Amino acid sequence: MHLHIPDGVLPVRLWLPGLALALVLLAWAARYAARGRQAVAYQGALGALALAAMALEIPLGPLEYHLTLIGPLGVLLGPAAAFVAVFIVNAILALLGHGGLTVVGLNALVLGAGAALARPTYRALAGRMTPAAAFATATVVAQAVSGALWLALVTYALRLPARAPDAGGFGAGFGAPGARVGLVAGLAFPMALVGIAAEAAVAYGIARFLGRVRPDLLPAPAAAVAGARGGAGPAPEGRPA
């Protein structure tokens, strides 16, 4: 899930530490992401696909939802390269008015945390189920983690007092903090379930397609990777190992 919050709403003590942490993780991830023309092109293509998915709104009754593709992004790129792509995608979306610049860091952390778990989850399951099923399950895990972090941030923000009685602020006009949290949770939970199901279905289709045309892009199971490396250090991320 994505924080669609304009600038000036969240307090500095919430978004500034998030941005600082995201920049630190971005610098770390950039060191471990695979380099070279082919790797950069591969990462850029997947990042562009995620950007297109996040920019396309899907109406769900009175609300709108957009895919994030953090599951496929995390499985195909790995934690480090996926975080770089997620950060860049969120920065571009913020420049297009899809959320404020001040929430780029928080959005990168929320989506990046889910993407980071996708490849390890896929590798742990790939030897026990079909690649498509493992791909979809990894996407469910990624979305569930990101959704939980999104709800935690929104809950914290809703419990913050307004700067002045008439200053408004995040959640102003929705009653007491407890009522605000209950309202958001009541709306977000069913929407999150629909979103997780949609993301898993798309991920399943992507994995089925890749399994037929480019199975080499799907990461190997954890046991196969451990045997192939024979105790060697981790390889750069951004392409299947």
Domain residue ranges of the chain, discontinuous segments joined by +: 12-162+169-226
Distance from CA of residue 49 to its chain's centroid?
13
Q: What is the pLDDT of residue 237?
A: 65
Two tokens, residue 5 = 């919050």
What string of H, E and C letters represents the secondary structure of 178-232?
Answer: HHHHHHHHHHHHHHHHHHHHHHHHHHHHHHHHHHHHCHHHCCCCHHHHHHHHCCC
Q: What is the pLDDT of residue 184?
A: 59
Summarised one tens digit per residue, pLDDT across range 73-87 is 999 999 999 999 999
One-letter amino acid at 122 equals: Y
pLDDT bracket for residue 168 (50, 70, 90): very low
- CATH assignment, 12-162+169-226: 1.10.1760.20
Q: Is it the case that residue 68 has pLDDT exceeding 60?
A: yes
Q: Which of 35, 239, 1 is nearest to 112 (CA)?
A: 1
Q: Which of 43, 121, 119 is nearest to 87 (CA)?
A: 43
pLDDT bracket for residue 160 (50, 70, 90): low
Specify the residue for token string 């996407």. Answer: 139
Using only C-alpha atoms, the chain has a radius of gyration, in whole angstroms, of: 19
**Is residue 88 helix, strand or coil?**
helix
Q: What is the pLDDT of residue 84?
A: 95
Two tokens, residue 47 = 């990042």
Summarised one tens digit per residue, pLDDT across range 17-38 is 999 999 999 999 998 887 778 8
Stretch 161-188: mean pLDDT: 51
Q: What is the pLDDT of residue 151?
A: 84
